[in-house]
A and B are shown apart, each in its own frame.
Chain A
Amino acid sequence: MKILVVEDDELTARALEGILSHQNYAVEIATSAQSAWELVEIFDYDLVLLDVVLPGMDGVALCRRMRSHQYSMPIMLVTAKDDSHDKALGLDAGADDYVTKPFNSEELMARIRALLRRATPAAIPKLEWGKLCLDPEACEVYYDDRLLPLTPKEYALLELLMRNPRRVFSCGMVIEHLWAYDDTPGEDAVRTHIKCVRQKMKKGGAPSNLIETVYGIGYRLRPLKRQGVDVVIEVEQQTRSAIANIWQQFQPRIEGQLVQIELATAALVQHQLSAELHQTAKRNCHSLKGALGMFGLPQGSAIAGELERQWASLKLLELEPWDAEFCAKLQQNLVLLRQEVAENLSENLSENLSDNLSDWATSNSPSELKTEQPLLLIVDAEISQLKGLKLEADRWNLRISHVTSLAMARQQLRQEQVQAKDLILPDAMLPNAILFDPAIAHSEYMGLKFLQELTTAQPLLPVFVWTTHRSLEQRLAISQHGGRRFLDKLTDPSQVMRAVSQALRALEPTEGRVLVVDDDPIILIALRQLLEPWGLHVEILPDPRQFLETLERTDPDLLILDLKMPHITGIELCQIVRNDERWSNLPILCLTAQTDPDLVGRVFAAGAD
């Protein structure tokens, strides 16, 4: 860390140099604003400590000059006068903080640390898209090193597109990003701005279609092209990777199509297939047949094609009882199709992880995968209220998959184990909870045995025994085989989903730990009640004297400190934390009933955030 001290009084300058070097900062001294300016132009400083009263140009003027030349490092003013007007002038000129002479060295150091912590990492990177280059610091855009004369709105528009290459922005989205809420123009304004930018680009030598119109959707940067034979392979690889991203992106849709087919299959088995469901199943099979091969799943296309043929051969109007063999084949193919899709998902994922193609991956944020709906696997020969369950599941943000035999359930679960071992991200197939009717098995013994396997192999997986049996004996047998949760088959679907959701929520890992130190137990309890619903783990400590032990034990992600406590104050705790290397980055939030600026200043000086 390099600090420039601008101070005309030699004694003060030497004193500052001593204090700062003692803290391992590299220090340079300038005795006038002019020499300071020359140094700033040549070297990069992390912070400037600037005396207000200087011969010639004063500190405030230098400060203004540095800011107007885009120097963004933190500037701290040193003023001899405790004059509010002077301070305001300095802050308005772009200074970040000030200290009053004579200063306390400890406070000065704390303020410098706070400023350095707040400072943004050195340079903001330029954005590039082919020959187009945007410099966010200077707010300038170049094409092939030629400056484009843009208005602020045009610049903002281009920045939006360049920060999100490959993303399409509708006029509405552009307005949302670029205009204040109470100042929204019509969509025509966006079109006009786009037109102007295109014209200016064209004048700058850029192709006019660098911003392309995606018909009916909006605008985006035109994807970059590469030329020459030597990049053909690279382009192919990138294309494959990008296709994998599209596959990821459309995973929910493909999953939805599979579920539709499964729903129709379940209805068929129960002799409740409507003409509409039949059509839907056929159409979805057809879509998957035409699509899966494109994503590198020729086998998946073939199975979907076979399923489509099977569904098409089913004549709804001939009201013959559909034979079990036909249904079994259909279900078998469906399971195969599920497997194909699940395998591809995991392959694509691992491929993507190994490929170093970051710029192609931007359109696919990993958070989309994490927020995927949990899958509830229903293992039951027939469900009278599948439709109701499905509807409720949607409401509770759950997906449902239904298997009608133990063999099919095993198949799905076995696959899951293999994948879990390889540490592949959870895929669409992986059930997060199970509704299991033991009566599905040929004998009670088989059903209970399956339950035992399941609960021993995966003790954390919530398994609900889904039954109409209410005799004590049967319940006892079930719980002896690991059954811990019961749901009556006559339970209202919304109750079923509520129970499943609760079980799932209990399994969610807590995301963050918060340590709250406050001598007032009411505040402690209130904070816990307030924060815990957000998935935070809240540790409370009423006695600040046990602070260090508790801090080490809980290793929190956030510290909340009351300022006024007996024995040790929050400010003191704050300093203790900041003086320890291990906790120097721990965010600290101070609670106080006072808004006295002096106190607030001391809080920040102690290292609070």
Chain B
Amino acid sequence: MDTRRILIVDDEPYICEVARLCLEAATDWTVLTAESGMACLEMVGQQQPDVILMDVMMPGLDGLSTIQQLQANPKTQAIPVILLTAGGTEGDRPTLYGVKATIAKPFDPLALSAQIVTILGWPREN
């Protein structure tokens, strides 16, 4: 069984819920969610996800600052991060901070897991 763990960080609860639903329907991954950058930092060390999907524009600690914090910690710096971005005012940030790739919001819920698998080069399930 595929025991990968994925952490979704987004301040909009409905984004988290849709992403969780789609990933759980399509895969065996364990889906964790956090609704703020702080919540992400609090849980990430203990949970050790295989990948983090990070919203950029969040109140409080925004996505990019959160990634900086992750990078600064040896325990978490190796975790790949995929940015979730709706573009526009937040701009298209370059792949700074070891960000693997960007998934544009609104994402296609049914294609989300395939997108992640492709980005990370994970072996596909049968």
Contact = CB atoms under 8 A, between A and B. Distances in A.
Is the A/B pair a real complex?
A: yes
B28 A225 contact: yes
Nearest to A247: B14
B47 A290 contact: no
Contact of A223 (B24, B34, B47): B24
A209 B88 CA distance: 40
Nearest to B21: A242
B39 A246 contact: no
B109 interface: yes
Interface string B14-29: 1101100110111010
Interface string A212-223: 101110000001
Contact of B21 (A212, A243, A253, A283): A243
Nearest to B47: A215
B89 A235 contact: no
B34 A215 contact: yes
B25 A223 contact: yes
Residue in B1, B24, B84, B107 with the greatest tally of chain A CB atoms within 10 Å: B24
Contacts of B109: 239, 243, 294
B12 interface: yes
Interface string B30-42: 1011100001000
A142 B42 CA distance: 37
Contacts of A240: 110
A235 B110 CA distance: 10
B86 interface: yes
Interface stretch (A127-135, A304-312, A426-434, A550-558): A304-312
Interface in A186-236: 207, 209, 212, 214-216, 223, 225, 235-236
A234 B59 CA distance: 38
Interface in A284-317: 286-287, 289-295, 298, 301, 305, 308-309, 312
A223 B34 CA distance: 19
A215 B88 contact: no
A498 B11 CA distance: 35
A537 interface: no
Interface in A540-561: none
A250 interface: yes
A295 B19 CA distance: 11
A44 B113 CA distance: 51
B124 to A, nearest CB: 13
Given A289-B105, A294-B18, A294-B107, A253 B13 contact: yes
Interface of A: 207, 209, 212, 214-216, 223, 225, 235-236, 238-240, 242-243, 246-247, 249-250, 253-254, 282-283, 286-287, 289-295, 298, 301, 305, 308-309, 312
25 contacts: A214-B32, A215-B32, A215-B33, A215-B43, A216-B39, A223-B24, A236-B110, A238-B25, A239-B25, A243-B109, A246-B18, A249-B17, A250-B17, A283-B59, A286-B88, A289-B88, A290-B105, A291-B12, A291-B14, A291-B15, A292-B106, A293-B105, A294-B106, A294-B108, A309-B88
Given A239-B25, A289-B105, 19 more contacts: A215-B32, A215-B47, A225-B28, A236-B110, A240-B110, A246-B14, A246-B21, A247-B14, A249-B14, A250-B17, A290-B84, A290-B85, A290-B105, A291-B106, A294-B18, A295-B18, A301-B106, A312-B88, A312-B89
Report the 8 A-B pairs with minimum CB-CB distance, sorted nearest first. Answer: A293-B106, A290-B86, A290-B105, A250-B14, A294-B106, A239-B25, A223-B24, A246-B17
